[in-house]
Structures are given as structure tokens and as C-alpha cells.
């Protein structure tokens, strides 16, 4: 049976306060020092204004790291144990404008077909939240947000993006296509075209972007139902990107398509897609 999660109306939920643990291993010392910080900020939210940077005073260490302003442990270097000094407060102006170049009329959903890594799924939830994805469809072995590893990299985004888990990905794609969604796949092969070129013709039709397994790619039964196949161009020795990285590029290109020039700038070589 397929399962569906819908977030609360209020949006992103608060995180529970708890222990934040970090480890730093010295290149000169095999010991591992551990520091613990009790997160008791209002509503459990950590902001840049509550963080500062400190540096070890030892000349042969000089380890530089961020810490909560309220963390008494930060006066001691987690690497060598010497005292630290305050360097600067974190940059308080980290907000990014959300009203420039966005294709706000595009209804975008995504379909994760048998993604193996829970960490990749968590990263994709976070990218989906940032790109305004309406719904995440998880199929087959793709880990759901019930897996704590998903939450570790999604940082709460798994609770702000609605999701559904499907046992049969091929059947789910068939039903989603019948509902009116056009199906795009991010994959390599003879059908693939550079996503930057395809995005110029994106329009506002409701679209479902399919991403496949890290090793085997998209299920052939699903790929056969896709209306279009797009890929991220590759110029280096490696012929593919990490699936979460490729996913992040794809959803942002589709959402912010007005940033893509309609004509190739003079002198720029042609770049053809190879594999996502």
C-alpha cells in the first residue's frame, strides 16, 4: 500500500532541542576529542547570529572553528585542548532573495526511483524544499523520512515537503501520467539532451522529474513512459555526477529557468549532455 505524508499547515516544524555532537581528529595525535553542546535555543532553531568563530591560541595548532555563543566548551580547542580566542561573529546576512528569476507558475513534482542511499534522499529533500517542489514520490527501495539518516541530511525539509511511497514505481508513473503530469527523466543515453537546452522550452505545464538508482539508473519500464530525457553536461574525466548533486542542479534549472539565456553567447562552445 502506498503511504503519503502531508506536512502541517504551519510549514516547517520546530526541531527538538538535544545534543549536538562533533568530532575532530588531529593529524598529529591519534586521539579523538569529543565536545557536546546542549541546544536550548528558543524553538530549537540555531541562527547565524548565535554562532561565532574561535581559534586555538597554540602556534602549532591554530585550529579555527564555529561554535554557539552559549557553548562554554568552545573556550577549549577540540583538537589539541589548548585555550581558544574569539575571532568574529558569523555573517548575519545569509538570506537569499526568492523573488528573482523564478518560474513560479510551474507545478513541479519529483519521483525517486529506487535510490539506494538515505543520505542522498535527505539531500534531495532539502534541495526539493529550496526549489519549491510540490510533492516527492519515493519508489521501491528508496528510504523514506522514517529513516533517521534521511533526516540527518534533510535538516527538517522532509517535514515540509509532502511525500508518498510507492511499492510499484512503474504503475505509479503510469497513474501520474494519466493524471496529467508530463514525465521528464534525468538520465543518460541516446535520448538524453542537455537540461539547460530543454529548460528553455519548459513552460508552465505540470512536470514530474524522475531520478533513478545510483548504479542501475531508472527502471526501463519507467524510462519508456518518459516524455523527455535530460542530462547534466559533463566536461571532465568522470561521466556522471552524484545523484543528489544532479538532482539539485536539475530542479533548480527547471524552477529558475528565466536565468538561462535564450541564445548562446558569442564564442561559447556547444556543450552536449552525456550522463546525469
Q: How many CB atoms lie within 10 A of CB 225?
A: 15
Domain boundaries, the chain: 19-89, 108-259
What span, in angstroms and rounded, lies between the C-alpha atoms of 103 and 76? 48
Q: Do 108 and 134 touch, CB atoms closer than 8 A?
A: yes
Q: Is 125 exposed, middle or buried (0-12, 13-18, 19+ CB in 10 A)?
A: buried
pLDDT tens, residue order, the chain (276 aa) = 566 555 544 433 333 333 333 333 433 332 333 333 333 333 344 444 478 899 999 999 999 998 887 788 889 999 999 999 998 877 666 555 555 555 567 889 999 999 999 999 999 999 999 889 999 999 999 999 989 999 888 988 888 899 999 999 999 999 999 999 999 999 988 898 998 888 887 777 899 999 999 889 999 999 999 999 999 888 888 878 899 999 999 999 988 875 555 555 555 555 444 344
Which CATH number describes the domain made up of 108-259?
A: 3.40.1280.10
Amino acid at each position: 500500500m502506498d503511504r503519503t505524508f502531508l506536512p502541517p499547515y504551519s510549514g516547517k516544524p520546530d526541531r527538538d532541542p538535544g545534543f549536538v555532537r562533533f568530532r575532530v581528529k588531529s593529524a598529529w595525535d591519534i586521539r579523538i576529542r569529543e565536545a557536546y553542546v546542549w541546544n536550548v535555543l528558543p524553538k530549537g532553531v540555531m541562527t547565524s547570529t548565535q554562532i561565532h568563530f574561535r581559534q586555538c591560541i597554540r602556534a602549532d595548532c591554530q585550529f579555527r572553528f564555529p561554535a554557539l555563543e552559549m557553548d562554554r566548551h568552545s573556550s577549549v580547542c577540540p583538537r589539541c585542548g589548548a585555550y581558544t580566542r574569539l575571532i568574529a561573529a558569523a555573517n548575519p546576512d545569509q538570506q537569499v532573495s526568492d523573488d528573482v528569476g523564478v518560474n513560479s507558475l510551474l507545478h513541479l513534482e519529483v519521483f525517486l526511483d529506487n535510490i539506494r542511499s538515505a543520505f542522498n534522499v535527505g539531500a534531495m529533500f532539502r534541495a526539493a524544499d529550496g526549489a519549491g517542489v510540490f510533492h516527492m514520490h519515493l519508489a521501491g527501495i528508496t528510504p523514506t523520512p522514517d529513516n533517521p539518516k534521511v533526516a540527518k541530511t534533510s535538516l527538517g525539509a522532509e517535514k515540509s515537503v509532502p511525500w508518498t511511497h510507492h511499492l510499484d514505481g512503474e504503475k505509479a508513473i503510469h497513474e501520474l501520467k494519466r493524471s496529467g503530469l508530463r514525465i521528464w527523466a534525468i538520465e543518460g543515453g541516446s535520448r538524453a539532451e542537455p537540461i539547460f537546452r530543454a529548460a528553455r522550452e519548459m513552460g508552465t505545464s505540470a512536470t514530474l522529474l524522475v531520478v533513478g538508482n545510483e548504479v542501475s539508473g531508472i527502471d526501463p519500464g519507467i524510462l519508456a513512459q518518459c516524455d523527455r530525457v535530460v542530462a547534466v553536461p559533463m566536461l571532465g574525466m568522470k561521466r556522471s555526477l552524484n545523484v543528489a548533486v544532479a538532482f539539485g542542479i536539475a530542479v533548480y534549472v527547471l524552477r529558475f529557468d528565466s536565468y538561462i539565456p535564450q541564445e548562446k553567447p558569442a564564442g561559447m562552445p556547444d556543450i552536449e549532455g552525456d550522463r546525469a
